[in-house]
Amino acid sequence: MTANTPIDTGATAWVLVSCALVLFMTPGLAFFYGGMVRSKNVLGMLIQNVLAMGLISVIWAVVGFSLAFGGSNKWIGNFDFLFLADVANAPNLPGYVGDFALVIPPLAFVAYQMMFAVITPALITGATADRLKFSAYAILIGAWAILVYPTVAHWVFSPNGWLFGEGALDFAGGAVVHINAGAAALAVVLVLGKRRGWQREAMPPHNLPFTVLGTGILWFGWFGFNAGSALGANGLAAQALINTQLAAASAMLAWLVVEKLRAGHATTLGAASGAVAGLVAITPCAGFVGGMAPIVIGLVSGVVCYFALSLKTKFGFDDSLDVIAVHLVGGLVGALLLGLFADKTVNGLGADGWFFGGGADLLGKQVLASAATLVFSFVVTYIIAVVINKTIGLRVSNEDELVGLDQSQHAETAYQA
Amino acid sequence: MKLITAVVKPFKLDDVKDALKAAGAQGITVSEVRGFGRQGGHTETYRGAEYNIEFVPKVRIEIVVDDSVVERAVEAIRSAASTGKIGDGKIWVTNVERIIRIRTGETGPDAL
């Protein structure tokens, strides 16, 4: 492969647009979660998500991108691209040669990957809602964006990473984003503890219309997330886009049917939750499956994630807005189903899953990648959370929690009487 | 003069207002309130978890009327607000010692 792959203008245009689409998902997530908390905590939720857009963008440019995509070591990147040095004019990025050569400017790739780095720690806010101190949150996700995210991104996304080398597939971040954030959310919640009054008093969502608005923004942005991950404007991007739509649609239907049968009503929150569960599950699969596989993946994820809701009451951890049930479990469902449904006729750089004549080989690799991501993220995040808890403390005081994060952390209220 | 206070289901407010006008009431005051009676709230379901919502939204209606209108007004509220189902609300009547119209300073029934 020559050092200078020609830039494809169509691909570049699509990836630049996809950057904006993926960025938009973070405020979408803010509204998705913001609607589900009590009214005294809605600004606390919104600002935590928005802060990720500020803090993680800077960290990504300074050191995150370099740790994720620099050098040829298979465990971790290096400091070659610190402060984005030499990226703009790099003939290619490490590992992105041959079949993996980029046809977009390296800076477009930096920006696109930045948006993933931004939204991933923001997903944790749903688990820690209503009680995490703002300063502790900022340190937590700052440390996480340096110590956890780039490592997993390197393992899975970089062609030099060890899980990539093993042949594990993750098209748009089922492991890097969803299993990673879900495992981190579990670790933080275990250190942080439960909300005061959890399971004794009602904590119903204060504004489900916000949640539906947020779902719409997430769904819209997810086309950039998944179809943009083709890194080209081509048939693969189109395949990823239709897969995304079908999985979200069928997961929403599955969730609604199950909750109607189990609890008696099809709910607005259920429709929103089901759609997001389907979007999560299709993320790793989007560019590797075809036909009606996305519908099966959507249906399975809708049902499995619904039943995963009860994990928190069974095991007694207060994952406030069900990040573990939707993102960790949904991510695992997608990663494992990819081992069954992957199809090389869709993407020659992929593999054949069990149902397409590839045997159990790919499924084994998917289990390995999922387990490695889950364990690494959980352990390192747990250590970060314990260190913060022992120093400045993770939680707000009881009084501040009762008053609400809006007033106690930010001296604002969302709604004037 | 009497103060009639009624707590009714919110969607019955328009019916009650029309019935009171027909019964001769000059004006009414309405506020949105929450509370529970024997109905004891209702349940809501979020992601499979059931919550008992104790304080149910209601509308409180207050009118001051001349003694001669009280029975007609109470009956108007009762028949307009009734659905026959649990949670229809309550009406109570209390004595009013004085009433003053702010603009003119009139007192008693003239102030109504």
Domains in chain B and their CATH numbers?
2-111 (3.30.70.120)
Cα A281 to Cα A174: distance, rounded to the nearest angstrom:
7
Does the CB of A319 have a partner CB in chain B at under 8 Å?
Answer: no
CA atoms within 13 A on the CB side of A242: 12
Q: Which long-range contacts (CB under 8 A, 24 or more apart) does A110-113 make?
A: A110/A60, A110/A61, A110/A65, A110/A84, A111/A16, A111/A19, A112/A15, A112/A18, A112/A19, A112/A22, A112/A228, A112/A231, A113/A60, A113/A65, A113/A68, A113/A69, A113/A153, A113/A157
Does the CB of B43 have a partner CB in chain A at under 8 Å?
Answer: no
CB contact under 8 A, B47 and A204: no
Which residues from chain A sit within 8 angstroms of residue B36, using beta carbons?
Answer: none
CB contact under 8 A, A263 and B45: yes
Which of A204, A263, A310 is opposite residue B51, by nearest beta carbon? A204
What letter does residue B111 receive in the DSSP assignment?
G
With a threshold of 0.80, does the pTM exceed it? yes
Chain A nearest-CA distance from B94, in A, is 30
Does the CB of A259 have a partner CB in chain B at under 8 Å?
Answer: yes
Could you tell me the residue ranges of all domains in chain A? 9-410
Residue B37: the pLDDT is: 86
pLDDT at B42 over 50: yes
> H or E segment at A118?
helix A106-122
CB distance A367 to A339 below 8 Å: yes
Search chain A and give the residue with CA nearest B51: A202
CB distance A365 to A167 below 8 Å: yes
> H or E segment at B5?
strand B2-8
Residue B43: the pLDDT is: 84
Cα A43 to Cα A30: distance, rounded to the nearest angstrom:
9
Cα A30 to Cα A41: distance, rounded to the nearest angstrom:
12
CB contact under 8 A, A204 and B52: no
CATH 3.40.50.1860 fits A9-410, yes or no: no
Residues in chain A, pLDDT under 50: 1-2
Pick from A55, A40, A320: which is nearest to A206 by CA? A40
Which residues from chain B sit within 8 angstroms of residue A204, using beta carbons?
Answer: 44, 46, 51, 53
ipTM above 0.85, yes or no: no
Residue B41: the pLDDT is: 79
Predicted confidence band of residue B109 (pLDDT cuts 50, 70, 90)? confident
* Window 77-106 of B, Cβ < 8 Å to A: none
Average pLDDT taken over every residue of chain B: 92
CB contact under 8 A, B45 and A267: yes
Residue B24: the pLDDT is: 86
Q: Which residues are within 8 A (CB) of A245 and not within 5 positions of it... i.e. 6 or more apart?
A: A223
pLDDT at B48 over 70: yes
* Window 110-169 of A, Cβ < 8 Å to B: none
Q: Which residues are within 8 A (CB) of A416 and not within 5 positions of it... i.e. 6 or more apart?
A: none
Place of tokens 């009054």: A197
Look at B90 and B49; give whichever has higher pLDDT: B90
Which of A204, A205, A259 is opposite residue B48, by nearest beta carbon? A259
Residue A2: the pLDDT is: 43
CB contact under 8 A, B45 and A264: yes
CB contact under 8 A, A322 and B51: no
Residue A354: the pLDDT is: 97
